[in-house]
């Protein structure tokens, strides 16, 4: 009966811990969404800056796995280089150590107090900032309450002879025991799929007096390897570079653990020397009050020292994972796909990915317009094939971005993030429609193969086409600089173009009635003008959509 009580208490405490971590992470992401966006956009080729970015983002989201999955997504969409990705991953390993320090604080008994303080603003506050603060307190309270339950559940194990005999195998001061502990930590983390949860369990076991510091430190090393499985699984089915980023994370942690294992006894002694008071000192109630801080320190020391050691070798690591993960024979097409589960995607970074992909789409349409303009002057079959290829690409981008953002919107996000996501979905839809009408213009041109349009109507059309495109460029300027974007100017220009379209259509019909052009040209020319007028309308829709959001700085 006691065994059953221990099991359900541990599972219940772990469930509360998990829920608290998720609440805290989601709330921190919402509260610091602007910070995350700016930090991600500050990425350069500087390896030290990449490490700092990974550290800051992971400290906010409280999960190196989430950060690594995000990086795999960025690399998969070709929005980040492999070297940058490895730098961010190294930084994420440092950032995740803050979790150990949070749960090592001796305020477990105040978990219910924090839950009480946080639940009321979380449920009843009208202001989103106060609501998020309440959720953060509530999440932290749940984390501490879950740890308190687990610690209490583990206490009977101190007198359980079978468990003592099992632990004794892992507690021996031999390298066999150290390696066994590392493998056990790795195995359990793979099962739980959360290094933070395993770190919480380790601290709960150690604080209850069930295991010693040496065993706990070895378990933590194994947890660092186990956490890389999430990214490796997320990289399945992605681009080669995304696989390389995930494998670089795994190799980095494995190499780091091997290096620490070589000097493991000295490593444990060093942590004991850095943190005051003995790690395995036992209190009157049988608990170990100092061990949690030692475990958190060992976690931080491992990740910081390993990162500092590997920073000079980022290029070497990138080349190594490139060698062991060769490019497939077929050329890969960059795709913005949802990497991992939607619960692993940070809305702030997902919006950055989608925002950059929309800008790529805009650049493709710019190139498409130039080819269309050239084709109208000279009907080259190669140009026609290129135009149709561009149209197909824009169709794919519109579909991928829409599906990507709809999946991300299943996550809890702020009203600003939700509005931004909806706006980007609207923008890609309008851009795809503009590409459709550009493709239709060249299709209409085919009607003139035996009777090419020349003279005043042709000149007028090109003049109108250039003005419509200038208007389009004005409308999409909001993708890059909303601060200088003037919506009223676009409304005025749009109305002028609408009137101009009607005017040139009427003039051409008049020329047809005089016999200057074949009657078929009246219908075709009208269709071509209408296509440009539709492009004007879709461009105006883009400007209206963009005027509803605040800018993302890139």
Over the stretch 32-59, which tens digit does the pLDDT of each residue have?
666 776 776 666 566 777 888 888 888 8
CA atoms of 331 and 169, how far apart (whole Å): 51
- The pLDDT > 90 percentage for the chain reads 14
Residues 6+ apart with CB under 8 A from 25: 61, 62, 63, 66, 139
Q: Is the pLDDT of residue 148 over 90?
A: no
Over the stretch 280-294, which tens digit does the pLDDT of each residue have?
888 887 788 888 889
pLDDT computed for residue 548 by the predictor: 77
Q: Is the pLDDT of residue 342 over 80?
A: no
CA atoms of 283 and 55, how far apart (whole Å): 35
pLDDT computed for residue 554 by the predictor: 41
Q: Bigger pLDDT: 282 or 472?
A: 472
Which ranges constitute the DSSP H helices of 227-313?
Answer: 228-234, 240-262, 264-274, 291-310
Over the stretch 406-449, which tens digit does the pLDDT of each residue have?
888 887 777 788 888 999 999 999 999 999 999 998 888 766 65
Answer whether 417's CB lies under 8 Å from 29's CB.
Answer: no
Answer whether 76's CB lies under 8 Å from 239's CB.
Answer: yes
User: Which range, 190-199, 211-220, 228-237, has the best average confidence (pLDDT)?
Assistant: 211-220
CA atoms of 195 and 188, how far apart (whole Å): 9
Average pLDDT over residues 484-492: 72
Among 440, 406, 442, residue whose Cα is nearest residue 424: 406
Ranking 8-17, 128-137, 484-493 by mean pLDDT, the lowest is 484-493
Q: Is the pLDDT of residue 149 over 90?
A: no
Per the structure block, which two tokens stand in for 244? 């390389």
pLDDT computed for residue 552 by the predictor: 45
Q: Is the pLDDT of residue 19 over 70?
A: yes
pLDDT computed for residue 43 by the predictor: 62
Q: Is the pLDDT of residue 334 over 70?
A: no
pLDDT computed for residue 330 by the predictor: 46
Answer whether 360's CB lies under 8 Å from 396's CB.
Answer: no
Average pLDDT over residues 191-201: 79
Average pLDDT over residues 370-396: 88
pLDDT computed for residue 98 by the predictor: 84
Q: Bigger pLDDT: 354 or 550?
A: 354
75: confidence class by pLDDT, cuts 50, 70, 90: confident
pLDDT computed for residue 435 by the predictor: 94
Q: Is the pLDDT of residue 321 over 60?
A: yes
Q: Is the pLDDT of residue 452 over 50?
A: no
Domain extents for the chain? 2-324, 346-546
CB atoms inside a 10 Å sphere around CB 197: 20
3-state SS track over 199-245:
HHHHHHHHHCCCCCHHHHHHHHHHHHHHCHHHHHHHCCCCCHHHHHH
Over the stretch 268-278, which tens digit does the pLDDT of each residue have?
999 988 888 88
- pTM for the full predicted model: 0.70
Q: Longest C-alpha distance within the chain, in Å?
A: 109
- Which CATH superfamily includes the segment(s) 346-546? Phosphate transport system protein phou homolog 2; domain 2 (1.20.58.220)
pLDDT computed for residue 535 by the predictor: 92
Over the stretch 249-259, which tens digit does the pLDDT of each residue have?
888 889 999 99
pLDDT computed for residue 123 by the predictor: 87
Mean of all residue pLDDT scores within the chain: 80
Residues 6+ apart with CB under 8 A from 221: 181, 182, 185, 257, 260, 261, 302
State phi, psi for 40 to the nearest 5 degrees. Answer: -65, -40
521: confidence class by pLDDT, cuts 50, 70, 90: low
User: Which range, 17-26, 105-114, 517-526, has the best average confidence (pLDDT)?
Assistant: 17-26
> 523: part of which helix (H) or strand (E)?
helix 520-546
CA atoms of 370 and 360, how far apart (whole Å): 16
State phi, psi for 263 to the nearest 5 degrees. Answer: -115, 30
Sort 84 into a burial class: Cβ within 10 Å, 0-12 / 13-18 / 19+: buried
453: confidence class by pLDDT, cuts 50, 70, 90: very low
> What is the distance of C-alpha 254 from the center of its chain?
24
Cα dihedral 180, 183, 188, 191 sign: negative
User: Which range, 51-55, 109-113, 250-254, 519-523, has the best average confidence (pLDDT)?
Assistant: 250-254
CB atoms inside a 10 Å sphere around CB 410: 11
């Amino acid at each position: 009966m006691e065994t059953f009580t221990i099991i359900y208490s541990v599972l219940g405490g772990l469930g509360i811990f998990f829920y608290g971590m998720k609440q805290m992470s989601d709330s921190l992401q919402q509260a610091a969404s602007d910070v995350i966006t700016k930090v991600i956009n500050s990425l350069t080729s500087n390896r030290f800056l990449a490490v700092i970015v990974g550290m800051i983002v992971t400290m906010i989201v409280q999960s190196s796995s989430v950060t690594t999955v995000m990086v795999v997504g960025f690399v998969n969409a070709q929005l980040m280089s492999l070297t940058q990705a490895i730098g961010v991953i190294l930084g994420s390993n440092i950032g995740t150590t803050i979790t150990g320090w949070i749960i090592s604080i001796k305020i477990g008994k105040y978990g219910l107090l924090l839950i009480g303080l946080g639940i009321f603003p979380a449920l009843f506050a009208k202001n989103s900032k106060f609501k998020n603060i309440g959720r953060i307190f509530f999440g932290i309270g749940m984390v501490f309450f879950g740890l308190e339950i687990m610690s209490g559940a583990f206490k009977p194990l101190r007198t359980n002879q079978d468990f003592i005999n099992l632990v004794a195998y892992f507690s021996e001061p031999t390298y066999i025991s150290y390696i066994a502990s590392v493998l056990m930590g790795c195995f359990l983390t793979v099962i739980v799929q959360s290094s933070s949860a395993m770190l919480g369990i380790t601290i709960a076991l150690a604080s209850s007096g069930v295991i010693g510091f040496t065993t706990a430190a070895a378990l933590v090393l194994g947890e660092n390897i186990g956490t890389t499985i999430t990214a490796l699984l997320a990289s399945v089915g992605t681009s080669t570079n995304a696989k390389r980023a995930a494998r670089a994370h795994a190799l980095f942690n494995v190499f780091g653990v091997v290096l620490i294992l070589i000097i493991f006894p000295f490593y444990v002694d060093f942590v004991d020397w850095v943190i005051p008071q003995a790690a395995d000192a036992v209190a009157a109630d049988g608990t170990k009050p100092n061990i949690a801080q030692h475990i958190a320190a060992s976690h931080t020391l491992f990740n910081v020292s390993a990162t500092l050691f590997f920073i000079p070798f980022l290029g070497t690591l990138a080349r190594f994972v490139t060698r062991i993960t060769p490019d497939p024979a077929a050329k890969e097409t960059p795709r913005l796909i949802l990497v991992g589960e939607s619960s692993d995607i940070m809305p702030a970074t997902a919006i950055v990915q989608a925002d950059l992909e929309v800008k790529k789409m805009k650049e493709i349409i710019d190139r498409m317009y130039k080819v269309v303009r050239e084709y109208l002057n000279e009907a080259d079959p190669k140009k026609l094939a290129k135009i149709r290829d561009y149209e197909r690409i824009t169709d794919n981008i519109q579909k991928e971005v829409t599906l990507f953002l709809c999946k991300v919107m299943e996550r809890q996000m702020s009203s600003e993030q939700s509005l931004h996501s909806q706006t980007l979905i609207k923008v890609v839809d309008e851009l795809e429609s503009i590409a459709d009408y550009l493709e239709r213009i060249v299709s209409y041109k085919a009607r003139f193969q035996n009777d090419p349009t020349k003279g005043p109507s042709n000149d007028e059309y090109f003049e109108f086409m250039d003005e419509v495109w200038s208007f389009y460029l004005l409308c999409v300027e909001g993708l890059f600089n909303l601060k200088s974007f003037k919506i009223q100017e676009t409304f005025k220009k749009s109305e002028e173009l609408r009137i101009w379209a009607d005017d040139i259509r009427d003039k051409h019909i008049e020329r047809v009635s005089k016999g200057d052009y074949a009657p078929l040209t009246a219908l075709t020319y009208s269709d071509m003008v209408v296509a440009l007028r539709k492009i004007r309308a879709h461009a105006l829709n883009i400007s209206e959509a963009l005027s509803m959001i605040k800018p993302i700085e890139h």
